[in-house]
Structure 1
Amino acid sequence: MNSPVRKKGVLRTLAAALMLMMSGMALAEGSVDLSQSPEVSATPEGAIRMPKQQERMALNYVNQPPMIPHSVDGYQVTTNTNRCLQCHGVEHYRTTGAPRISPTHFMDSDGKVLSGVAPRRYFCLQCHVPQTDAPPIVENTFTPSQGFGK
């Protein structure tokens, strides 16, 4: 019998080999090195500015997490605090005018309804991203599902 430690070592080795193989294939195909892209700059002069507030963008596919139509600069989301819930939480959305957090965000992975936001849905920026009209870093040929994106 193989020990669990030995199995983990074998899995790590296989994962590392797969990553190396995939990166080699990407280089052979002439992939874009995003760290060298001239359109993206970490300097203040070239930084992409987020608008303070804008109209909400249309969704592009079923169950797409809505994009954030305002800047989130300085928002704190940690295990102890979530700035998003100060406007979007069930206690506040009526007074702030912000959309209410979806009921699905209160279900755990087993579908059990919780009294608070489920841990897997607590870190909003994992799924919801700020809108911007920044130019794409790489070519994008995605087209919205029929009836979406309008």
Structure 2
Amino acid sequence: MANDEYGSRPRRRRKAYLIIALGAAGLLGLLAVLYVSGAPGGGTASLGPKNYSTHVECEVNTTGSQGTVTISGTITGNATRYAVTVEVSDAASHQRIGLQTFEVRGTNTFGGTTAAQAPIGPAGIECKITKVA
């Protein structure tokens, strides 16, 4: 009976339903990845690239070999929050004397003070933004 042509045929509908179910699951997975990555049509852009412009200024106050650096800056861009890291260095030796990270949320300004960790030379200080996330 193994070679009987009149027996029941294999059901192809089960294969079709399986292929459709796998395709739908793959499509849902792709949409979930696009949603999280912030692609057009997605709901969030927090994981994507951020466009921004920044400005930072620093002022040092010293007493002997100790001092503090007052940092103030602005950031504007397409995100609602940033983490801005500012490095303060001696202008002549380029030795880092301070480093501070600011969490910027709901505003475009940041600022604060940090201790100067080394004597500051006569050339003054330099401030630069080393990281924006």
Higher strand share: 2
TM over 0.5, yes or no?
Answer: no
Higher helix share: 1
Higher RCO, Cα 8 Å, sep 6+: 1
